[in-house]
A and B are shown apart, each in its own frame.
Chain A
Amino acid sequence: MIFNQLLINGIIAGSIYALVASGFTLIYSATRFIHFAHGAIAAAGAYLVYTFFVLLGLNFYLASFLAVLSTALVGLFFFAIIYRPLQKRKSSNAIMLIAGLGLMILIENLLLLIFGADVKSLNFLEVARGKEIFGAIITPLQMVIVAISVLLLIFLQFFVKKTKFGKKMLAVADNPELADTTGINAKVIQYAGFGIGSALAGVAGILIGLEQNIEPVMGVMLIVKGFTGAIIGGVTSLPGAILGSYLLGLSENFGIWYLPSGYKDAIAFGLLLIFLLVKPNGILGINKGVRE
């Protein structure tokens, strides 16, 4: 059943995009700038797990834990030395965006310098025969990817909506000036948002590293897809970013039912353009109206 196979492929792709997009959205909500190097941070996460697992020979789960933790620290480090000083100078969004692009190129080249240009792979799980579910083939690894993504996304949603800290985050995202006069320390929230967002990027990096090859430029594709997912869903809304990412994964995969598979990226960009033109707020990014 080709339909079921494409559905499953779409969900797998969407899960990865959703992890990238939700981290991206979290960072955007807390800091109000577009962190374009977010994909490169995910790439750093993949290389970090490669370092801990393959190069240092640690237990895979310990290596993953350390990789996620250090990805968060890498994100925080760059936030502190690049974005914060620019923010303090009240730099415009364009400057932040360019800084993000610069940072992305810097990280890519650092990875290239340290690890070389050849692709790396984790080879943690043996290539297993896929299981057949409703006529579609899915490997155990792919099931793990989807399960981890979904669990993390549910946990994240719970964290933001139900905990006091999450609500403070929403408040800063909603109205930073008011959050300030309400006595919410925006700086703490920004660091937390950046740290958690980067950790999510680290998870995404690891999951991709499990399925595909690791290469220095992999971050570009990730940020483009994560960004597109976030825009489609509504960039300030976490459920929106998740919904948008799955929608993107599904459209890409169902699109190649009719088109050659090389058009996958074209479908993603096409969707991005359509949404930017027709509904820039995204699906769940409500245009809030203040009643007078």
Chain B
Amino acid sequence: MLKIENLNAGYHELHVIKDVSLELKRGSISVLMGPNGAGKSTLLKSIFSITDIFSGEVLFEGEKITGLPAHTLLQKGVAFVSQGRVNFGMLSVMDNLMLGAHHVADKKEVKKRLEKVYDQFPILRERQKEYAFSLSGGQQQMLAIGRALMSEPKLLLMDEPSLGLAPKLVKELFATIVDIRERFQTTILIVEHNLKSLMEFADYGYVLVQGEVVAEDECRNLKKSDIMQKVFVGTFD
């Protein structure tokens, strides 16, 4: 469903992503891992065209989306949850969610999606009238994910969703992500540091080192390989 072919990308003159190719299967949860500065977030942002792309292509459902402005990608079914649980702090929880479906004209449809997100995260329904900045860290992350889900994305990109969450919440979050895949019938690509716990939940993993994919396999195989030892121990750093 998403195919990246020989992608080279970065920021201005800085070449971060080097010749990366990967392909996501529909309905899979894939994880992109690697040491600090490997270019994980940059790769994710390149899919969403927030970086400078030098060469290569990104195909979404067979259609070339390389370099399309971010606001058109949402309409094609790609949603992005950025790092650090970012929300519109001065807007209400409900307004935050509604903005996730701002391109949908059908009010009934929006309402339906809102209910679906509230069913997934009941605490957001309870606090729908409150300012987003008043939520706790975990709730803010739910809101950020909820807003992305409002667009009913076919592909959900998440940049370090566990960042700064308590260990117990991290486990819950990953279980939620699996649940989201079932309920919302979506394909998910996650950039994560929190490898150990995520490996239990994800299907497929890519290891990115210095902008290149050095290993990729199903997570259960990857768990056993030496390359993961290196990532865990941090020899790459």
Seen from chain A, the residues whose Cβ lies within 8 Å of a Cβ on chain B are 164, 167-168, 170-171, 174-175, 177-186, 286, 288-292
The chain A residue sitting closest to B72, CB to CB, is: A183
15 A-B residue pairs with Cβ-Cβ distance under 8 Å, sorted by A, are A167-B99, A170-B91, A171-B88, A174-B88, A181-B48, A181-B50, A181-B82, A182-B147, A183-B74, A183-B102, A184-B102, A186-B71, A288-B90, A292-B137, A292-B164
Residue B151 at the A interface, CB < 8 A? Answer: yes
Find chain A residues with CB under 8 A from B95 CB: 167, 170
Proximity bits, B69-84, A CB within 8 Å = 1, else 0: 1111111000010100
Cα A59 to Cα B178 in complex, Å, equals 67
Starting from the known contacts A291-B136, A291-B140, 18 additional A-B residue pairs (CB-CB under 8 Å) come to A167-B95, A170-B90, A170-B91, A174-B90, A174-B91, A175-B86, A178-B82, A179-B88, A180-B70, A181-B70, A181-B82, A182-B100, A182-B102, A183-B72, A183-B73, A184-B102, A286-B90, A288-B133
Proximity bits, B93-129, A CB within 8 Å = 1, else 0: 0010011101100000000000000000000000000
Is there contact, CB below 8 Å, between B71 and A168?
A: no
Interface centre among B73, B82, B99, B100 (most CB of A within 10 A): B99
Residue B134 at the A interface, CB < 8 A? Answer: yes
The chain A residue sitting closest to B157, CB to CB, is: A181
Question: What is the interface residue range for chain B against chain A?
Answer: 20 to 34
Residue B135 at the A interface, CB < 8 A? Answer: yes
Measured CB to CB, the closest approach of chain B to A86, in angstroms, equals 18
Kindly list the 6 A-B residue pairs having the minimum CB-CB distance in the complex, ordered from nearest: A183-B74, A174-B88, A183-B71, A185-B71, A181-B80, A178-B86
Is there contact, CB below 8 Å, between B133 and A183?
A: no
Interface centre among A175, A178, A180, A185 (most CB of B within 10 A): A178
Find chain B residues with CB under 8 A from A164 CB: 98, 102
Find chain B residues with CB under 8 A from A179 CB: 88
Find chain B residues with CB under 8 A from A174 CB: 88-91
Measured CB to CB, the closest approach of chain B to A174, in angstroms, equals 4
Is there contact, CB below 8 Å, between B99 and A184?
A: yes
Known A-B contacts A167-B95, A167-B98, A183-B151; the reply to A291 vs B134 at CB < 8 A is yes
Q: Which of B80, B86, B89, B137 contacts A288 (CB 8 A)?
A: B89
Find chain A residues with CB under 8 A from B100 CB: 182
Find chain B residues with CB under 8 A from A185 CB: 69, 71
Residue B87 at the A interface, CB < 8 A? Answer: yes
Find chain A residues with CB under 8 A from B151 CB: 183
Is there contact, CB below 8 Å, between A290 and B70?
A: no
The chain B residue sitting closest to A164, CB to CB, is: B102
Find chain A residues with CB under 8 A from B164 CB: 292
Find chain A residues with CB under 8 A from B98 CB: 164, 167
Find chain A residues with CB under 8 A from B140 CB: 290-291
Is there contact, CB below 8 Å, between A182 and B134?
A: no
The chain B residue sitting closest to A286, CB to CB, is: B90
For chain B residues 167-193, which have a beta carbon within 8 Å of chain A? none
Q: Which of A175, A289, A291, A292 contacts B88 (CB 8 A)?
A: A175
Cα A175 to Cα B70 in complex, Å, equals 15
Find chain B residues with CB under 8 A from A178 CB: 82, 86-88
Find chain A residues with CB under 8 A from B134 CB: 291
Measured CB to CB, the closest approach of chain A to B2, in angstroms, equals 17
Find chain A residues with CB under 8 A from B74 CB: 182-183
Known A-B contacts A183-B71, A185-B71, A292-B164; the reply to A168 vs B89 at CB < 8 A is no
